[in-house]
Amino acid sequence: MTVKTAILISGRGSNMTALLDAAAQPGFPAEIVAVISNRPDAKGLEKAAEAGIPTAVVDHKAYPDKVHFELALEDALAASGAELVCLAGFMRLLSAEFVNRRLGRIVNIHPSLLPSFKGLEPQKQALDAGVRVSGCTVHFVTPGMDEGPSLLQAVVPVQPGDDAAALSARILAAEHKAYPAALRILADGGVRFEDGRAVFADPGAETALFP
């Protein structure tokens, strides 16, 4: 039995596409039942519709405040029947109340090796810090921004002469492998959120990728 999963996007949906492609493969343990965007012009909506996935728009600008926006988002998620939620370039900070209702059932991908380089422009942060490797992290979402425990990380090298665009492209290619792999682990029951930590059913399970 597959786990019903919704994807929240705000833009082009490249990670969404990677998840859709993975979920379309036989035996994948998650079924994408909805793609929801807070922006009506998000290009990812077209890609999802072309793939036959139900889409919805919950435009944050149409609501007087975050409370009413999140109530509408709750309604859209309830209508989809989703058990899991994947944030894929969803550019809105969610309230603690919204997140706490889904602890262990909502995940995000961030283009750094958390806990390093949280927030905006993590690739530039990495270059400014002079690190030799960077990558991405799929993590459980908790009320603190980019603070939830990691399900899986992918490591990529920082090359001499890299600028933020070059490093971002290399990390994005890794994200497209890492996010489906992490969703597979979660939907298969291979990891759960417990007492603020990611607890793996197999303590020896690989939770890092080296593309």
Positions marked catalytic: 110
Helices in the chain by DSSP H: which ranges? 14-23, 43-50, 66-80, 96-100, 122-129, 164-187
Helix (H, G, I), strand (E, B) or coil at 87: strand
Q: Which tokens hold the place of 128?
A: 């400014």
Contact between 27 and 109 (Cβ < 8 Å): no
Q: What is the β-pairing status of strands 84-87 and 3-9?
A: parallel
Helix (H, G, I), strand (E, B) or coil at 10: coil
Helix (H, G, I), strand (E, B) or coil at 82: coil
Contact between 180 and 107 (Cβ < 8 Å): no
Q: Report which residue type is found at 193.
A: F
Q: Which tokens hold the place of 36?
A: 């929801």
As beta bridge partners, residue 34 has: 6
